[in-house]
Structure 1
Amino acid sequence: MIERFNALSGNLKGACILMFAAANFALMSAMIKLVGSHLHVTQILFLRQSGMLILILPSVVGNFPGAFRTRRLSLQLTRLCFALVAMLFGFSAMIHMPLADATAIGFAKSFFVTIFAVLLLREKVGVHRWSAVAVGFLGVVIMLRPGTESFSIYSIYALVGAAAAGVVMVIIRLLSRVDESATILIYQALGVAIVMLVPAIVYWKTPTPFEWLLIAGIGVVSYLAQRANIYAYKWGEASLMASLDYVRLLYATLLGLWLFGHVPDKFTLLGALVIAGASIYTIHREVKLRRLLTSAADSRPFVNH
């Protein structure tokens, strides 16, 4: 089995691993929704981050105290703040909305990455990508349906979570230039756990044995999903992997139907398709631009000044 897998092309290996990662991300969302019917979101977040800390502890201990050394402490703390917002609002949306809806709106993150990359990184964005962003937000509006009876405040929560996650992604681009990935990971895991400790105590409810099992599962599948995602992008082309990641929406829809009886309506399906299409186009334009820039740089003659 392992030999057959190793014989596959990079894109096929990446696709297989990404399907596994997407399934775990969707499963994590379903578990959060299940346990969120009884436990407060701050308690869930604290326990989830505590579980993540246990899983990454071996790599931190092996690189102590180097894992805590950062050249941009202020940027690490800024990322922590936005990560908190992203998780608090994103988790709340998962708990109170149909999984398919929350997952689809969450994919609007890629549009916010484009916006904040322009504002914070001074990246140049052409008319094609701006058009894709505009179309993507049209898909969000279709799903939100403001002014109708179907509108939910938790749809705004999902959008706020996506926006904060977009800022986090841009900050990671900056941090990855100066800090190790282990440092970036430990600051968020430890920071969120510390900040959530007090509210978790305030809203604490003793989980049932089944809920403890779900909480442990959230930590494990979160870790597996993140590790698998890293390997998928390592083996496969970034544009293809990002496009395939939308299979997570299919998993979320099936889990929502199976566990909660949620059947997506026509507006949810239409909005999700618009968001997915615009996001995939945005990703492909970005990858194409990077390839052109790389080719142009490689073709320049060497001049020794």
Structure 2
Amino acid sequence: MTTATTADSQVQARDAVAGILWMVLAVFIFIGMDALAKWQAERYHVAQLVFFRSTFGLFVVLPFLLHGTGLRAKLKSRRLGLHFVRAAVGTISLFAFFLAYQKLALADVIALSFISPLLMTALSVPLLGETVGWRRWTAIGVGFLGVLVMVQPGGGLFSAYALLPLAGAFTYALVGVTIRVLSRTEEPATIVFFFGLFSSVTACLFLPFVWVTPADLTDWAGQIGIGLIGGLAQLAMTTAFRRAPVSVVSPFEYTGIVWGVAIGFAFWGELPSLAVWAGCGLVVGSGLYILHREASLARRG
């Protein structure tokens, strides 16, 4: 092995470690945002929280839009229709998840949301024309079995409210598919901006009917924090995917269940049932296998 090859390998190893650390940080921040949303949703309407999440998230991404070629150049797009679809579906996902945090335990929502990568793989066939072999279809089937284990009677999640995180996961998977297409020509900051703008305007339509002025500075900070923290988490996750391949960093999204259980127990005394743990294990295992399979195919290619 030459010196140059050794140096390249060391750089790749450092980038992989950095990407993993950024992903773990991003997931931790996202769970913090979810916990804030759950806390505030106990006393405020979900639409109001979506407004704060979207509006103050824009403040975080704005410096990245102004950097380099400037705001006007980055907002010029020939794919406004697809931006609209991505923003609309993303807003529905945001509403579904925030409402789910109001009705269900934090860790239970996170566990059910892990079905999203499996749905994204399945949707890539009809929407993107990608090929999915029988091994990955089997993994997707096992993942759906895991969801059935979690929501079965006696499984701890057997209620109509379990449909909320599943709807959020489905729409989030649609978001992932549209982002795959948009990212071929659009910058990440541009995609995030159009989503934040649409989501903020949509939430504004509800505000005259649901607005409740935050009771004190703590609630103001909590609702503003939902937006700022969500924006920071998006940037951290973007950095993670920039530093290392998707197949390296994506499995660490599953650390969310650790943070979710810890925060849920510390603040609400919530613990998932055995059925939820078992079903979550099936979903996570299926997702990890699909990531492994995609990495193997990429190496062969």
Normalised to the residue count of structure 2, the TM-score between the two structures is: 0.91
The code of the aligned residue for 1:218 comes to I
Shift of residue 32, structure 1, vs aligned partner: 0.4
The structural deviation recorded for 1:285 is: 1.1
Aligned residue number for residue 177 of structure 2: 170
1:100–1:264 Cα contact (<8 Å) kept: yes
Structure 2 letter corresponding to 1:91: F
Cα–Cα, structure 1 residues 285 and 148, in superposed 2: closer, same or farther, change >3 Å?
closer
2:37 maps to 1:32? yes
Matching of residue 12 in structure 1 with residue 10 in structure 2: no
The answer as to 2:112 corresponding to 1:93 is no
Structure 2 counterpart of 1:124, from 131, 140, 146: 131
Query: Following superposition of structure 1 onto structure 2, how do residues 194-273 of structure 1 map, counting pairs within 5 Å?
Result: 194-208=201-215, 209-273=217-281
The code of the aligned residue for 1:288 comes to S
Deviates more, 1:46-55 or 1:233-242: 233-242
State the shift of 1:53 in Å.
1.4
Q: What is the root-mean-square deviation of aligned Cα atoms in Å?
A: 1.8
> Which residue in 1 is equivalent to 2:167?
160
1:191 and 2:198 are equivalent in the alignment: yes
Separation (CA, whole Å) in 1 of partners of 2:12 and 2:244 = 14
TM-score by length of 1: 0.89
Residues in 1 aligned to 2:25 and 2:154: alpha-carbon distance in whole angstroms: 38
- What corresponds to 1:104 in structure 2? 111
> 2:96 touches 2:164 (CA, 8 Å); kept in 1?
yes
Alpha-carbon distance between aligned partners in 1 of 2:225 and 2:123, rounded to the nearest angstrom: 33
8 Å CA contact 1:53–1:186 kept in 2: the answer is yes
Residue 126 of structure 1: how far off its partner (Å) = 0.2
Contact 2:156–2:275 (CA under 8 A) maintained in structure 1? no
More displaced 10-residue stretch of structure 1: 140-149 or 64-73? 140-149
Instruction: For 1:264, give the aligned amino acid.
Output: P
Contact 1:117 1:170 in 2 (8 A): yes
Name which of 48, 64, 67 aligns with 1:59: 64
Could you tell me how far apart the structure 2 residues matched to 1:202 and 1:47 are?
16
Tell me if the contact between 1:52 and 1:189 (Cα under 8 Å) persists in the aligned partners.
yes
Distance 2:156 2:58 in 1: 42
SS across alignment from 1:38: coil
| C-alpha distance in structure 2 between counterparts of 1:181 and 1:13, whole Å | 20
Corresponding pairs, count: 288
Deviation string, structure 1 residues 69-91 (Cα, Å, up to 9, x no partner)? 11212111111121111111111
Match of residue 5 from structure 2: none
Indicate how the Cα distance of structure 1 residues 204 and 263 shifts in structure 2: closer, same or farther if over 3 A, else same: same
Paired residue type of 2:98: F
Give unpaired runs (5+ residues) of structure 1: 1-5, 294-305
**1:261 to partner: Cα distance:** 0.4
Identity %: 31
2:150, 2:157 within 8 Å by CA — same for their partners in 1?
no
**3-state SS of paired residue (2:71):** coil
- Please, which of 274, 279, 283 is the counterpart of residue 275 of structure 1? 283
- The residue identity in structure 1 corresponding to 2:55 is S
Does 2:166 match 1:181? no
Listed as ranges, the gaps of 5+ residues in structure 2 are 1-10
Query: 2:52 aligned with 1:47, yes or no?
Result: yes
User: Structure 1 149/290 Cα, relative in aligned 2: closer, same or farther at 3 Å?
Assistant: closer
The answer on 1:82 being equivalent to 2:89 is yes
Deviates more, 1:43-52 or 1:224-233: 224-233
How big is the shift at 1:269? 0.7
Q: Encode CA deviations 1:181-213: one digit per residue, 9 max, x unaligned.
A: 222111101011011101122100111221111
1:73 is aligned to 80
Does the 8 A contact of 2:24 with 2:255 survive in 1?
yes
Cα displacement (A) at 1:13: 1.7
Partner residue in 2 for 1:296 = none
- What is the identity, as a one-letter code, of the residue corresponding to 1:282? I
Deviation, structure 1 residue 150: 4.7
AA paired with 1:29? D
Aligned equivalents of 1:259, 1:130: Cα separation in 2: 38
Question: Aligned partners of 1:234, 1:175: CA distance in 2, in Å?
Answer: 16
